[in-house]
Amino acid sequence: MPTTQRLNIRSEYGLLKTVILHRPSAEIDRLLPDNYRTYLFEDIPFLKKIQREHDQFAELIRSRGAEVLYMEILLEEMLRDEAARYDTLEAVVALERCEGIMNDLMNVSTVELATILLAGLRANEARARGFKVSQYLPDDWMMISPIPNAYFMRDPAAVVGDMIVSSNMLYPARVRESLLIEHIFRFHPRFLKKEEFVYGTRSDERYNSIEGGDIIVLNSEAIAVGCSERTSTEAIAHLASNLFRRKSAIQRVYEVLVPPKREYMHLDTVFTIVAPQTICAHKRSFMESPQTRLYEAASTDTGYKLHSEGRTFMDVLRDEFGSLTVIEVAGGDKYYADREQRTDGANVFTIAPGVVVGYDRNQRTNAALRAAGVEVLDFDGSELVRGLGGARCMTMPIEREDS
């Protein structure tokens, strides 16, 4: 294991070197008919099958030489350090308002604690462990909530260049995901990243939501960020200012207006980069509407100049890439495009230039990609998609080769 992990994401298609995944586990079995929508699911997945699907997904990524790190293993390894465990638990119990069991949690085994931080803890389970729990709490009271969305690793954080964006998740059901990932980056011996955070660690940034699925690295100097249901314009402005003040390589941040609808929850649900100058997209009017805004590095109080442009997002892509090839979801067929967009046809994960991983159910999109010369490694995702996310959603790339 290297002393410290190199962070390097300067494109969406450079050969993948290292990625973080989370294999769905006991937290999935916390989903019930009366809570699955609260946890942002479309239905209740079958745990054994969702694990088989995820294992196939991970193996396809490994098949091209990438290293797969599992968040749950990194979490367990990080919690072995007493100071890291204390700092993590202090943040978790404050978030969950269960400070009374802090000392009890400090004394459980590392494996048990990692499971609790993912799958949650009911009052009856706490009592069975001998925790000091109020007698007035019902047995099924979740003292610590589960985080069943944790397998969508794209959202809790994002690496831009060699900087870390720690997300501020919009929905309470997902907030702890970002907290755990931030602590892994800070305290795990493979990372020990303290100066690399470029967003999300100051209190004034915690009021504005931003999620990793809205962040697309266009090239070494430019990123696009969706202003969506889950990412606010204020957060994008903060991120741009921080990137520019840190003298990062990023010189341009494009704000792309995404309608605040569940089916467009992030920018990457309608658009991904699959090869140089090539995208897979569910072409919607908002991508061709002149509403893009540009934050450009400048010597001002904010660190940027803001331009409300006449360019569409498609214009921006053509300008940044030099030319643009668009592969439409379902080959542009309107009926099937809407159907396959719902099952994340555009949300493929690029593991090398012109090589993507995606759900096999999106047959027409995959056929269009292959017809354009893109290699598609497909897999069954019928249980995974019940959380409304695709291959890109399930990955947190942290190192790629420069392209």
Q: Which of 98, 227, 280, 393 is catalytic?
A: 393
Q: In 211-287, where do the E strands start and end? A: 215-219, 222-227, 252-257, 271-275, 278-281
For tokens 């690793």, name the residue. 153
C-alpha separations of 132 from 110, 119, 124 in Å: 19, 20, 11
Q: Show the DSSP H helices in 102-228 as ranges.
A: 102-106, 110-119, 123-128, 175-187
Active site residue 227: no
Asked if 356 and 374 count as a contact pair (C-beta separation under 8 A), the reply is yes
- Select from 81, 78, 130 the least CA-distant residue to 101: 130
- Select from 154, 81, 150, 67 the least CA-distant residue to 115: 150
Question: Which tokens hold the place of 307?
Answer: 């331009």
> In 10 A of CB 134, how many CB atoms?
9
Contacts of 242 (CB under 8 A, 6+ apart): 198, 199, 303
283 Cα distance to chain centroid: 22
For tokens 């937290």, name the residue. 27
Report the C-alpha gap between 248 and 225 in whole angstroms: 17
Task: Name the phi and psi angles at 37, rounded to 5.
Answer: -75, -35
Asked if 141 and 98 count as a contact pair (C-beta separation under 8 A), the reply is no
Which residues are known to be catalytic? 393
